[in-house]
Amino acid sequence: MDADISRQDPPDAESQPVAISPQISSNSKETYKYQYSPLKIQSHFRLIAFPREEQVDPRAERLNCELAHFSLDDTAPRYRALSYEWGIPSDKDPRIWINGMPHIIRKNLFCAMLELHSGQRGKTKYGTPYWIWIDALCINQEDLLERNEQVSMMGRIYGSAESVIIWLGVAKDDSDIIMDILGENHDPQLMHRLSHEEKKDALSLWLQRPYWNRIWIVQEIQRGRELEILCGNKAISWGQLINPKALRSMTGAYSWVWLSKAYSGNKRESIRRMLPGLR
């Protein structure tokens, strides 16, 4: 059930991250790194939210966020956790603004955050901001000690989240059709656009997305109370993903034979464990 976080007690003022102006350098990415204030207690962690009034223009590649400290033991509001693939850094990576300070993030995360905001998954049913845990932003990646401590807490962080949102990336390679089939909300006329073989090829590409190769995926999925899979602007539940009927509608009766041909070794076994509908 969605929670109205406006009813939560605000974090102590001293626990709010302090924005420290970085040294200006026209040719350095250091200019675009948010300066974190330290977590004072081991059970403390950070959460991020989109301001209620914030409007996002995807073309502007600008997104404002709020970052605050909470205690995982007692003061944390209801929140969601993001499970995603970091992606490869690029000189063209976009900036976001954290508590008014610019910060560079990788393109895949930026796309996820845009979708979370514009798709209303970053807000409760009351229209108030939803707190979200995102490792790249809620952990000071420059502080090795903090990073190690926070990584050791990740099981609790994912397990305490109201839900885990799995971000597979932007829509491409007919992924919208795959999501519609798995979600069982597809338009029959649209389904005829692809042949049976083309659907299998599209599913194969969908399962080859970098997210499925992440080593942390098992912990994040197993710890999550509820799992929502987001690909582009389409969303399905984990239960819909592992639905044998939907999978076999794309792969045919001999879906395990198809899987054996499409993949090999550890990749095949990993997918088979995650998708019991493929038998």
Q: What is the mean pLDDT of residues 7-27?
A: 36
Please answer whether residues 193 and 226 qualify as being in contact, where contact means their C-beta atoms are separated by less than 8 angstroms: no
- Give pLDDT, residue 252: 57
- Give pLDDT, residue 27: 43
Residue 146 has pLDDT above 70, yes or no: yes
- Give pLDDT, residue 20: 29
Q: What is the mean pLDDT of residues 71-75?
A: 89
Please answer whether residues 33 and 105 qualify as being in contact, where contact means their C-beta atoms are separated by less than 8 angstroms: no
Using CA atoms, how far apart are residues 159 and 154, in angstroms rounded to an integer? 8
Those residues with Cβ within 8 angstroms of residue 29's Cβ, 6 or more apart along the chain or in another chain: 104
- High-pLDDT (> 90) share of the chain, %: 39
For residue 22, give the DSSP letter: P
- Give pLDDT, residue 268: 54
Q: What is the mean pLDDT of residues 74-90?
A: 92
The confidence band for 30, taking pLDDT boundaries of 50, 70 and 90, is low
Residue 1 has pLDDT above 50, yes or no: no
- Average of per-residue pLDDT values in the chain: 76
Residue 230 has pLDDT above 90, yes or no: yes
Residue 4 has pLDDT above 70, yes or no: no
* Closest by Cα among 237, 235, 4 to 115: 235
- Give pLDDT, residue 195: 77
121 vs 198 pLDDT, higher one? 198
The confidence band for 23, taking pLDDT boundaries of 50, 70 and 90, is very low
Residue 26 has pLDDT above 70, yes or no: no
Please answer whether residues 105 and 94 qualify as being in contact, where contact means their C-beta atoms are separated by less than 8 angstroms: yes
